């Protein structure tokens, strides 16, 4: 069995590759990479079953042959961000269209696993997010990123290929992208930014990248996941207060929440300053905006993420350059 992976030089793909080489040490794993040096820097001594294939999703001639020889395809690569811009449609929708077209004549394919995003489902901008999203929520993406990922999902669903679409909540873990929301939050906490001490009323769903990697493998191989779409996260949403407190504790920071009456929080919500200025971040902090239910996944596979946020943050910090800081007094 040959595995084909896109996005292996990114945050999730790199962790997924790490997982795949552990559980499939003898199966060839072909990784489409745009930058060979980046791949070699990440893997100075790669296991013998990894093959770097230099190419680009937008240039199918660079990978068609290898793709058609694969039984399992993990399509993880994307341009990621809670933003707008034509580049999202090129890198996410068009790139997926090219991959699907290059794959369509394949008779070997057993499963195409596509990593989508909760931004492709999203919510009604007019009503506050109070309940967990499920697969039954009508998709109404609010950003070009979300729209481009939804269009990619639709291309895969219509392709006739055997697929599983995985829709992760907020993902964190080792090898965080510099500038990612978690990376920024960690830096803001270290810098003692005021907003990290506010007891925001929101909650998010999260999943550690190791749990997600395991889920992606199950998605590729479990019969009940064929041609299905699943939201995937830890079973219960995590409050923003618990997330901030856990991060602070793991970073060794002396962190106390500012007593913030509702009126104070309401004033802050209207401020133009970051992070409250970004309407999506605002909803994440104040509502149950990125909260979702993985019940369908659990019912189909019996798999449940195991890593608690506290354990996951410790694992993340011990792997990354972020490192724990000595406690600081304020």
Ligand X SMILES: NC(=O)c1ccc[n+]([C@@H]2O[C@H](COP(=O)([O-])OP(=O)(O)OC[C@H]3O[C@@H](n4cnc5c(N)ncnc54)[C@H](OP(=O)(O)O)[C@@H]3O)[C@@H](O)[C@H]2O)c1
Q: Establish if 131 lies at the interface with ligand X (CB under 6 A).
A: no
Binding mask 57-96 for ligand X (x = CB under 6 A): xx-----------------xxxxx----------x---x-
Closer Cβ to ligand X, 122 or 255, answer by number: 122
In sequence order, what E strands does 216-284 have?
228-232, 238-239
Q: Establish if 234 lies at the interface with ligand X (CB under 6 A).
A: no
In sequence order, what E strands does 109-205 have?
111-115, 163-168, 170-172, 203-204
Q: Establish if 103 lies at the interface with ligand X (CB under 6 A).
A: no
Task: Please identify, among the stretches 8-16, 23-31, 257-265, 282-290, the one whose residues bind ligand X according to the rule CB under 6 A.
Answer: 8-16
What distance in Å separates the CA atoms of residue 8 and residue 206, rounded to the nearest whole number?
A: 21
Q: Establish if 4 lies at the interface with ligand X (CB under 6 A).
A: no
Exposure letters 303-329 (e unless 16+ CB within 10 A, then b) = bebebebeebbbbbbeebebeeeeeee
Task: Please identify, among the stretches 50-58, 284-292, 302-310, 321-329, the one whose residues bind ligand X according to the rule CB under 6 A.
Answer: 50-58
Q: Establish if 266 lies at the interface with ligand X (CB under 6 A).
A: no
Interface positions, 272-301, toward ligand X (CB under 6 A): none
Residue pair 118/86 in contact (Cβ under 8 Å)? The answer is no
Neighbours of 53 (CB within 10 A): 18
Task: Please identify, among the stretches 113-121, 131-139, 221-229, 233-241, the one whose residues bind ligand X according to the rule CB under 6 A.
Answer: 113-121
Helix (H) / strand (E) containing 324: none
Please count the residues of this chain forming the interface with ligand X, following the rule CB under 6 A: 29
Q: Establish if 117 lies at the interface with ligand X (CB under 6 A).
A: yes
Q: Establish if 50 lies at the interface with ligand X (CB under 6 A).
A: no
Residue pair 14/8 in contact (Cβ under 8 Å)? The answer is yes
Q: Establish if 233 lies at the interface with ligand X (CB under 6 A).
A: no
Q: Establish if 40 lies at the interface with ligand X (CB under 6 A).
A: no
Rg of the chain over Cα atoms, rounded to whole angstroms, equals: 20
Closer Cβ to ligand X, 208 or 255, answer by number: 208
Among 2, 10, 154, 193, binds ligand X (CB under 6 A): 10
Q: Establish if 170 lies at the interface with ligand X (CB under 6 A).
A: yes
Tokens of residue 44, six digits? 């100075």
Task: Please identify, among the stretches 51-59, 133-141, 264-272, 295-303, the one whose residues bind ligand X according to the rule CB under 6 A.
Answer: 51-59
Closer Cβ to ligand X, 6 or 93, answer by number: 6
Closest CA relative to residue 19, chosen from 51, 60, 47 = 47
What distance in Å separates the CA atoms of residue 202 and residue 289, rounded to the nearest whole number?
A: 8
Among 2, 19, 56, 83, binds ligand X (CB under 6 A): 56
Q: Establish if 176 lies at the interface with ligand X (CB under 6 A).
A: no
Interface positions, 177-216, toward ligand X (CB under 6 A): 177
Residue pair 15/209 in contact (Cβ under 8 Å)? The answer is yes
What distance in Å separates the CA atoms of residue 6 and residue 34, rounded to the nearest whole number?
A: 10
Task: Please identify, among the stretches 6-14, 42-50, 237-245, 307-315, the one whose residues bind ligand X according to the rule CB under 6 A.
Answer: 6-14
Neighbours of 242 (CB within 10 A): 14
Q: Establish if 34 lies at the interface with ligand X (CB under 6 A).
A: yes
- Nearest residue to ligand X by CB is 10
Reduce the DSSP state of residue 217 to 3 states and report it.
helix
Contacts of 325 (CB under 8 A, 6+ apart): 190, 251, 252, 253
**Could you list the residues that contact ligand X (CB under 6 A)?**
6-7, 9-13, 32, 34-35, 38, 56-58, 76-80, 91, 95, 115, 117-118, 149, 168, 170-171, 177
């Amino acid at each position: 069995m040959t595995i084909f992976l896109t996005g292996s030089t990114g945050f999730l793909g790199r962790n997924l590759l790490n997982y795949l080489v552990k559980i499939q040490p003898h199966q060839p794993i072909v990784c489409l990479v745009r930058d060979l040096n980046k791949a070699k820097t990440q893997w100075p001594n790669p296991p013998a079953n990894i093959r770097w294939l230099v190419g680009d999703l937008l240039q199918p001639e660079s990978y068609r042959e290898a793709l058609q020889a694969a039984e399992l395809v993990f399509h993880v690569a994307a341009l990621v961000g809670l933003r707008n811009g034509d580049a999202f449609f090129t890198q996410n929708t068009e790139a997926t269209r090219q991959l699907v077209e290059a794959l369509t004549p394949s008779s070997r394919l057993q499963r195409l696993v596509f990593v989508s995003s909760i931004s492709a489902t999203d919510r009604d901008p007019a009503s506050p997010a109070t309940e967990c999203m499920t697969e039954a929520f009508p998709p109404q993406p609010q950003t070009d990123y979300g729209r481009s990922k939804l269009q990619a999902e639709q291309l895969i669903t219509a392709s006739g290929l055997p697929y599983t679409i995985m829709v992760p909540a907020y993902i964190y873990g080792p090898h965080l992208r510099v500038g990612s929301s978690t990376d920024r939050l960690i830096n803001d906490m270290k810098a003692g930014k005021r907003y990290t001490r506010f007891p925001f009323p929101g909650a998010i769903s999260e999943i550690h990248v190791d749990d997600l990697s395991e889920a992606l493998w199950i998605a590729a191989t479990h019969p009940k996941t064929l041609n299905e779409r699943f939201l995937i996260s830890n079973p219960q949403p995590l409050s923003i207060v618990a997330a901030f407190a856990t991060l602070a504790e793991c970073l060794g920071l002396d962190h106390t929440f500012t007593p913030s009456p509702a009126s104070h929080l309401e004033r802050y919500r209207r401020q133009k300053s970051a992070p409250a200025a970004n309407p999506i971040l605002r909803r994440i902090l104040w509502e149950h905006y990125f909260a979702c239910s993985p019940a369908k996944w659990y019912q189909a596979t019996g798999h449940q993420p195991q890593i608690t946020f506290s354990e996951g943050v410790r694992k993340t910090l011990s792997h990354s350059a972020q490192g724990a800081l000595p406690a600081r007094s304020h």
